[in-house]
Amino acid sequence: MTNLQLGKLESVRGISPAFLQRAAFVAVLSFVFFIAMMVGFYIRQNVGYFLLATAFLIVQILTLLCWLMQRRNEFRLYENGFTYKNKTFLWDEIEAMSGKVESRLAGAPKINFEIRKANGEKIFLTEAVHGVEDIVARISEEIARRET
């Protein structure tokens, strides 16, 4: 699928800042605990501190790798469709969109929408995408426009 078929690029949406902030917090906190456990190992010479330091280092490395991988997942909205996670959807290829918005006791609502093509290919949009409410509204608008 070429960008000529998709038309003009309208917007690019990355991962939600709240999710980036959480990942950064976990990475920093795990690094602080890693340093603290290494200092504890240096002072007390107990292998338990070294094992804890290793675990915190693994948590930090995995968090940073996942953070880098998620930053590449951009939702690109075009005038004739969109791309997300290396999948391309034209407006006339979309068969249905279903989903729900659940309120939480604290924080933003939990959003989970499934978008399905006529050939069975589907993607899921969650609150991890920045501005997912606007994206869902735009897709709903395009589906309604196509059905009339």
pTM of the shown model: 0.75
Domain that holds residue 88: 3-14+73-147
CA 78 to CA 134: how far, in whole Å?
Answer: 14
- Is the pLDDT at 112 greater than 60? The verdict is yes
Same domain, 52 and 23: yes
Same domain, 7 and 21: no
What is the pLDDT, as a whole number, of residue 18? 85
Question: What CATH number corresponds to the domain at position 7?
Answer: 2.30.29
Same domain, 87 and 107: yes
40-65: pLDDT as tens digits: 999 999 999 999 999 999 999 999 89
Burial 105-139 (b: 16+ CB within 10 A, else e): eeeeeebebebbbeeeebbebebbbbebeebbebb
What is the pLDDT, as a whole number, of residue 56? 95
Same domain, 29 and 7: no
Report the number of distinct structural domains present in the chain. 2
